[in-house]
């Protein structure tokens, strides 16, 4: 397996935690419904490839996201391994379902905009807090870890640009409900590097630290990797990514795939930043999942490693300076 030449850069973190969202964000937007056995194999293979966190599924209303209607079956099939995989819960009903299966990590997901709150949660911007508050309180009382997402941080397909102050206000309110981390979602992938920098500056000015923040980039406009590098420069050390670049949100038109985990791993490896992921095993997993879905992976790194010199199909390696073993 070919890897990039390693050239560290001053001022970047030594280690990054990749929060894998492929089985949840990746599969929730597929037109095909993936069989539960394949989903379980996907989660297991991602864990085996060294991903430290794999978000498995959502306990949302099955009519709203039929692709993930098998959440109970999946978590039962994963057994003990699944208990450490976070799941989305929008409300107390979702939390009850997760608690019944012994899940230890849940994530709520709020919206920075009024329109997306209504479209994604059937609640107004204010009403979403009333839904999340008892959900987080009960999750914490039960000893669970809670992550909070805030969507539409960089732009909204209905409302256009979203003021930074509004994102910070909603994000802080969600985090202050009792979350351990706030993931800032560029749901429709419109953000650019300067915007990432100003949003991070606004959150830190509001008292949040970079280790409380994660970045969740979708790659609709091809900016995800540039935005991730900008956030790395800002000191962020948790990045959401999706194996093979799968992903999207069924309730946000123009939301496409997430930042591909392979593309992020390639960048981090080249910068000498530890991530713990075996890129070859990850690429194999994404190539396999692309076969299950019946369409090629959107990740540039998956395509290059599968087809290019040094890729699994050619049996050769790139010469000069390329490291030959996984990081
Ligand atoms: P609602 O229709 O307003 O629900 O949906 P309700 O509270 O009025 O309840 C109606 C019925 O649904 C009741 O049943 C409830 O029990 C049942 P009845 O009494 O009529 O028989 N119900 C449920 N059943 C199973 N599981 C549940 C549940 N909740 C209620 N959890 C709701 C409100 C929030 C449930 C709905 O809007 C929903 O499920 N939305 C989820 C949408 C979604 O999953 N979107 C994708 C994830 S977000 C995302 O992708 C963005 C992210 O990646 C970050 C980024 O990119 O920005 C995270
Ligand atoms: Mg997303």
Q: What is the DSSP letter of 102?
A: T
Q: What pLDDT, on a 0 to 100 scale, did the predictor assign at position 311? A: 56
Helix (H, G, I), strand (E, B) or coil at 155: coil
Q: Is 249 in the pocket of ligand 1 (CB under 6 A)?
A: yes
Q: Looking at ligand 1, which residue's alpha carbon is closest to its atom 53? A: 25
Residue ranges, the chain, pLDDT below 50: 313-327
The pair of structure tokens assigned to 314 is 């050619």
Q: What pLDDT, on a 0 to 100 scale, did the predictor assign at position 55? A: 98
| Among 284, 263, 175, residue whose Cα is nearest residue 217 | 263
Q: What is the DSSP letter of 23?
A: I
Q: What pLDDT, on a 0 to 100 scale, did the predictor assign at position 326? A: 32
Q: What pLDDT, on a 0 to 100 scale, did the predictor assign at position 320? A: 28
Compute the distance from residue 187 Cα to the ligand 2 centre, in Å: 5
| Among 209, 199, 135, residue whose Cα is nearest residue 170 | 199
- Ligand closest to the CA atom of residue 59: 1
Q: What pLDDT, on a 0 to 100 scale, did the predictor assign at position 40? A: 98
Give the residue numbers annotated as catalytic, written as ranges.
249
Strands across the sheet with 87-88, in order?
A: 53-54, 17-20, 238-241, 213-217, 181-186, 145-151, 105-111, 87-88, 57-58
| 246: CB partners within 8 A, 6+ apart | 22, 25, 26, 27, 29, 30, 257, 258, 289, 293, 297, 298
Q: Is 93 in the pocket of ligand 1 (CB under 6 A)?
A: yes
């Amino acid at each position: 397996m070919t890897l990039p030449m390693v050239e560290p850069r001053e001022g970047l973190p030594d280690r990054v935690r990749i929060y894998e969202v492929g089985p949840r964000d990746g599969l929730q937007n597929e037109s095909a419904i993936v069989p539960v056995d394949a989903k379980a194999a996907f989660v297991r293979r991602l864990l085996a490839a060294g991903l430290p966190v794999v978000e498995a599924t959502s306990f949302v209303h099955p009519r709203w996201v039929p692709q993930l209607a098998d959440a109970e079956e999946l978590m039962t099939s994963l057994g003990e391994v699944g208990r450490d995989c976070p799941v989305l819960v929008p409300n107390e009903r979702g939390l009850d379902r997760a608690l019944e299966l012994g899940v230890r990590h849940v994530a709520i997901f709020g919206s920075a905009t009024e329109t997306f709150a209504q479209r994604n949660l059937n609640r107004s911007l204010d009403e979403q807090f009333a839904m999340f508050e008892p959900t987080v309180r009960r999750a914490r009382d039960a000893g669970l870890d809670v992550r909070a997402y805030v969507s539409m941080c960089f732009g909204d397909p209905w409302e256009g640009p979203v003021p930074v102050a509004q994102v910070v206000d909603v994000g802080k309110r969600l985090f202050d409900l009792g979350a351990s981390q706030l993931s800032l979602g560029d749901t429709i992938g419109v953000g650019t590097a300067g915007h990432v920098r100003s949003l991070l500056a606004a959150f830190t000015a509001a008292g949040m630290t970079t280790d409380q923040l994660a970045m969740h980039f979708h790659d609709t406009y091809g900016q995800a990797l540039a935005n991730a590098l900008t956030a790395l420069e800002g000191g962020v050390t948790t990045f959401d990514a999706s194996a093979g670049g799968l992903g999207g949100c069924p309730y946000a038109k123009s939301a496409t795939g997430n930042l591909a985990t392979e593309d992020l791993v390639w960048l981090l490896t080249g910068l000498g930043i530890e991530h713990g992921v075996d890129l070859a095993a990850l690429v194999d997993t994404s190539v396999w999942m692309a076969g299950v879905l019946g369409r090629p992976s959107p990740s540039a790194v998956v395509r290059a490693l599968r087809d290019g010199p040094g890729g699994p199909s050619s049996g050769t390696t790139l010469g000069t300076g390329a490291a030959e073993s996984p990081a």
